[in-house]
Structure 1
Amino acid sequence: MKKIMSFIFLLSLTFSAFATEQEMDLLIVENDTIYLKTSLLEKLELETPPFGNTRERAPSTGCWRGYRAIWKIIDNKLYLEKIIRCNSDRGKGEQDLIELFKANGFDFKENNGMILADWVTEDFYKMNFSSSNYYKDKIYLYDGWNEKEKNKDKNLKLKIKSGEIKLNRLKE
């Protein structure tokens, strides 16, 4: 019995796990485009999702949410600039932000068609991964869920509280 269990265990180590990379949200800071591995819009738990997409109706496995959000920092505030369809979606157009927020019953502050993201309180860390040397011109940020304590301060790049930028070390 011990040999069988050992064999099954060793066999299980040979299986690879694969996952489809999700299309990321984008953060525009001046002339830079930053890739966000964290979906800030999901925190609102929208009952009426953008474009009416649900996980069951997602355009592809690379875009379970069915959309990409474009964020912008202006005057040290985070704004939702627009919501676009995924690259794999055959539909056209952008989501009307005002209509979306009204349909979900949220109070919001609008500035030139953008929505102030005052629901966002998040620390963002630079994502370091094994192939990051190949992407030196790109910055990936995430919520730091697995950031080692010794690297937290060094990798902390952006701190947002209620939509206001409290720390911005993106240029470092």
Structure 2
Amino acid sequence: MKTVYKIIVIILIIISIKTLASPQMPDYIIYKNDTIPTYNLILEKYLQKINPGKDQLFGLSFRNRESFGVPLNCWRGYQAIYEVIDEKLYLTRIISCGELQGKSKINIEESTRKITEIFGNNVRNNRVLIDWFSGVINFPKK
């Protein structure tokens, strides 16, 4: 009978942990005058492709317990901002989690440093053409 109680307790713990999970912060796509959240995480998929198994960027990751200041709803440790320019998709910013919602302005110098660290000579006008992605981008309903 003790085994049954142990199993029930374990199941309840797992259920309670899952219910405490928070949705991840989205990336954003700027199209014309709209800033639209997206959960496609295009940059994250690219980074996983070029460097499989690496679970952090710029020393930030929720998975790494030493990364203080990374919110539970932003396990990537960053958010990406994309922009549609001349019918092409560009990565224009990599920001700290929640920086877009803050009252302070986006740290453009820090964002440019992060983009350059990843893409090096492919950076043009502080942005990178997203030529590795093809597919559908979904947007949440408002």
Say whether the fold is shared (TM-score over 0.5): yes
Displacement after TM superposition at 1:54 (Å): 2.6
Displacement after TM superposition at 1:21 (Å): 1.4
In structure 2, relative to structure 1, the CA distance for the partners of 1:96 and 1:86 (3 Å cut) is: closer
In structure 2, relative to structure 1, the CA distance for the partners of 1:53 and 1:87 (3 Å cut) is: same
- The answer on whether the counterparts of 2:94 and 2:115 sit within 8 Å (CA) in structure 1 is no
Structure 2 SS opposite 1:52: coil
Deviation per residue, 1:110-137 (Å, 9 max, x gap): 1x2111111222212344xxxx5xx3xx
* Aligned position for 1:59: 70
**Structure exhibiting the larger radius of gyration computed from Cα positions:** 1
Percent identity between matched residues is: 32
Question: TM-score, normalized by length of structure 1?
Answer: 0.54
In structure 2, relative to structure 1, the CA distance for the partners of 1:86 and 1:101 (3 Å cut) is: closer
Displacement after TM superposition at 1:109 (Å): 4.7
Q: How does 1:117-136 map to 2 (within 5 A)?
A: 117-127=130-140, 135=142
Displacement after TM superposition at 1:83 (Å): 1.2
In structure 2, relative to structure 1, the CA distance for the partners of 1:102 and 1:35 (3 Å cut) is: closer
Cα distance in 2, alignment partners of residues 35 and 71 from structure 1:
10
Query: Higher strand proportion, which one?
Result: 1
In structure 1, runs of 5+ residues without a counterpart are 136-172
**Amino acid in the other structure paired with 1:85:** S
In structure 2, runs of 5+ residues without a counterpart are 100-105
Structure 1 SS opposite 2:138: strand
Q: Does 1:26 align with 2:28?
A: yes
Displacement after TM superposition at 1:80 (Å): 0.7
Q: Does 1:75 align with 2:86?
A: yes
Structure 1 SS opposite 2:137: strand
In structure 2, relative to structure 1, the CA distance for the partners of 1:108 and 1:125 (3 Å cut) is: same
| 2:37 aligned residue (8, 30, 35) | 35
Q: How does 1:1-172 map to 2 (within 5 A)?
A: 15=15, 17-18=18-19, 19-45=21-47, 49=57, 51-55=58-62, 56=64, 57=67, 59-87=70-98, 93-94=107-108, 95-97=110-112, 99-104=113-118, 108-110=122-124, 112-127=125-140, 135=142
Query: Higher helix proportion, which one?
Result: 2
Displacement after TM superposition at 1:43 (Å): 1.9
Q: How well do the aligned residues superpose, as a CA RMSD in angstroms?
A: 3.6
